[in-house]
Amino acid sequence: MIPEPAGREYDVVIIGAGAAGENVADRVVKGGLTAVLVEAELVGGECSYWACMPSKALLRPGTALHGAQTTPGAKEAVTRTLDAKAILSRRNYFTSNWQDDGQVEWVKDSGIELIRGHAFLTVPRTVEVAGLDGTDHRLEARHAVVLATGSVPTQPPIDGLADVQVWSNREATSASEVPARLAVLGGGVAGTELAQAFARLGSAVTLIARSGLLGSFPEEAAGLVAAGLRADGVDLRLHTSTQRIGMDDDGAFSIELGDGSSITADKVLVSTGRHPALEGLGLESVGFGADADGRLLLETDNTGLVQAAQGDGGWLYAVGDAAGKNLYTHQGKYEARATGDAIAARAKGELDGRPADWSRFAQTANDHAVPGVVFTDPELATVGRSLQRARKDGYNVSSVELPIQVAGSSLHSENYEGWAQLVIDEDRKVLLGATFAGPDVAELLHAATIAVVGEVPLHRLWHAVPAYPTISEVWLRLLEKYGL
C-alpha cells in the first residue's frame, strides 16, 4: 500500500514517455499548460530502443550491400560480406546504448517535468506514482490525464510456450550475438523485418506463419517480399500452425509444426502481434472493465478523448499504441499532436465538443489515410484503404496495378522487380489508397499520402509530372493504364 503522499497539481499528467507521450507533452506545454511525464522505463519508449530504430539499423546495411551487389560496376567492388560486429555496434549507436540522457535533456529543455516510476489511476484525474527511487507521488490533473503507455506483445496460445524463454522484439533488437539458428513465429511486419535482418547477419532463419506472409497487404506486394526473404535463405513455412515449443537437453528449442515437421533453433522470436498496454493502470478504478476475452480496450473520439470515462467525462485521453488504432510511431505522434492541441484548446475554452474533420484537433487521417512501410528488401509501402477495405466501406471502387518497369527502376539496379497499385474512388475520381513494393520504394509513399489526404482529383494528378528518370515514373504509367 502506498502511503498518502502530498498531491501535486499539473494541467496535464501523461503516463508513458514514448514518442506519443513526449509529443502530447510538447504540444500542451507549447499551448501554455503545465505537464508532467511519468515513465517507468526509458524516456523515448519502445521505438527508440527496441523497435523502429534498432530494427532499421540492423536492416539498412544489408539493403545497402544488396543495392551495390545488384548494380553492375559497383558489384565488382563488393568483395566481402556484411560485418555483423560493425552492424551491431551501429545499432548500439542508434539506441544510444539504451541510455536515455539525450531524451531526458530534451524533456527538461522543453519545459516538461519528468517523474520516473510506475503510474496508475485511483480516482478520476488522480494519478499515483510508485517512483523508481522509492518515492511515491500523487499527481492531480487539472485538465487531462493522457494514457501513452504503448503496447505489449500478444502471446499466442502455443503448448509449452509459457515454459521456455523466447525472444520478443526486445531481445531480438538488442541482441549482442547473432544466433546460428533463429525461428521466427509470426509473418507480420515485425517477424518479416527481423527474419531478414538476422538472415543477412548470418543466422539460418525459419519463419513460421499460420497464414501467408504480410497477409494484410496485396498478395503481389507481399509476394515480392517473400521472394526477397527466400533469396536471403529464409525458410518460409507459410500457412503452417505451431503445435508445441519445448527445449531439448542441449538447450536448443524444438518446435513442432502442424504439418508434422519440426524445427530446431537456438533462439525463437515470437512476433505474433501486440495489444495496448492498459493493464496495471487502475482503469478498473475509473470504471473500465475487461471485455469477454479479458482484454481492456478504450474507445476514443477523434481527439483521443476516452469515451465514457468516469468523472466529468472530459479528462481521460489515450494516444499512440495505447489507443490501439494504428500501431506506428508516426501515427502515434500525429495523434499526440492533435490530442495535445485539443487539450490546450479545451483548457482555454477555445474548443468545445467534437472538432470538425481536418481541424488541427482531429485525428482525421487515422481512419483512412495511414501510411506504413515494411523496411525489408524489397520494401513495401502502403497508404490508405486497400481494395478490400474500400469495397467493405461501400465505395464504388476500381484499381490499377502494374509491375514497376520504368527508366528509373532499370537504372536503379539489375533485374529490378517492383509492383504498384492505386485504389480509386470511381464516384469522385480520387485516390483512396496506394501500394508500392520494390527496392527503395519507401520514399515514393509520401506523394501518395498527399494525394490521398488532399483528395487530389486524378485529372489534376495527371499534371504532377514525375522527374525523369526516377522510380516515381510509375505514377505516370499507372495513370496512363487507368485511361488518362
Ligand X SMILES: Cc1cc2nc3c(=O)[nH]c(=O)nc-3n(C[C@H](O)[C@H](O)[C@H](O)COP(=O)(O)OP(=O)(O)OC[C@H]3O[C@@H](n4cnc5c(N)ncnc54)[C@H](O)[C@@H]3O)c2cc1C
Ligand Y SMILES: NC(=O)c1ccc[n+]([C@@H]2O[C@H](COP(=O)([O-])OP(=O)(O)OC[C@H]3O[C@@H](n4cnc5c(N)ncnc54)[C@H](O)[C@@H]3O)[C@@H](O)[C@H]2O)c1
By CB under 6 A, tell whether 161 contacts ligand Y.
Answer: no
By CB under 6 A, tell whether 328 contacts ligand Y.
Answer: yes
Pairing of strands 151-153, 181-185: unpaired
By CB under 6 A, tell whether 373 contacts ligand Y.
Answer: yes
Task: Give the integer Cα–Cα distance in Å for 250 and 85.
Answer: 26
By CB under 6 A, tell whether 55 contacts ligand X.
Answer: yes
Helix (H) or strand (E) holding 67: helix 52-69
Burial class (CB in 10 A: 0-12, 13-18, 19+), 280: exposed
Q: Which is nearer to ligand Y, 159 or 393 (CB)?
A: 159
By CB under 6 A, tell whether 320 contacts ligand X.
Answer: yes
Alpha helix positions (H), 169-247: 169-173, 189-201, 219-231
The answer to whether 304 touches 341, Cβ cutoff 8 Å, is: no
Does the annotation list 186 as a binding residue?
yes
Binding-site partner at residue 473 among ligand Y, ligand X, none, CB < 5 to 8 Å by type: none
Binding-site partner at residue 119 among ligand X, ligand Y, none, CB < 5 to 8 Å by type: ligand X
> Smallest gap, in angstroms, from Cβ of residue 175 to ligand X?
12
By CB under 6 A, tell whether 33 contacts ligand X.
Answer: no
Angle between helices 189-201 and 52-69 (to 10 degrees): 50
Site for ligand X in 272-291 (CB under 6 A): 277, 281
Does the annotation list 192 as a binding residue?
yes
Kindly list the distances between the CA atom of residue 353 and the CA atoms of 14, 314, 349, in Å, as whole numbers in the listed order: 22, 10, 11
By CB under 6 A, tell whether 188 contacts ligand X.
Answer: no
Q: Nearest Cα to 27, choosing from 267, 419, 335, 245?
A: 335
By CB under 6 A, tell whether 28 contacts ligand Y.
Answer: no
Does the annotation list 191 as a binding residue?
yes
Q: How many CB atoms lie within 10 A of CB 71?
A: 16
Which of 15, 87, 104, 362 forms a contact with ligand X (CB under 6 A)?
Answer: 15
Does the annotation list 188 as a binding residue?
yes
Interface characters, 179-218, with ligand Y (x: CB under 6 A): ------xxxxxxx-x---------------xxx---x---
The answer to whether 268 touches 183, Cβ cutoff 8 Å, is: yes
By CB under 6 A, tell whether 458 contacts ligand Y.
Answer: no
Helix (H) or strand (E) holding 338: helix 329-347
Residue type present at position 351:
L
> Smallest gap, in angstroms, from Cβ of residue 380 to ligand X?
12
> Smallest gap, in angstroms, from Cβ of residue 448 to ligand Y?
16
> Smallest gap, in angstroms, from Cβ of residue 68 to ligand Y?
23
Helix (H) or strand (E) holding 205: strand 204-208
Does the annotation list 187 as a binding residue?
yes
Helix (H) or strand (E) holding 7: strand 7-15
Footprint of ligand Y (CB under 6 A): 156, 185-191, 193, 209-211, 215, 271-274, 327-328, 372-375
Residues marked as binding?
56, 149-151, 186-193, 273, 321
Footprint of ligand X (CB under 6 A): 15-21, 38-41, 45-47, 51-52, 55-56, 118-120, 148-150, 169, 173, 190, 277, 281, 320-322, 327-330, 332, 375
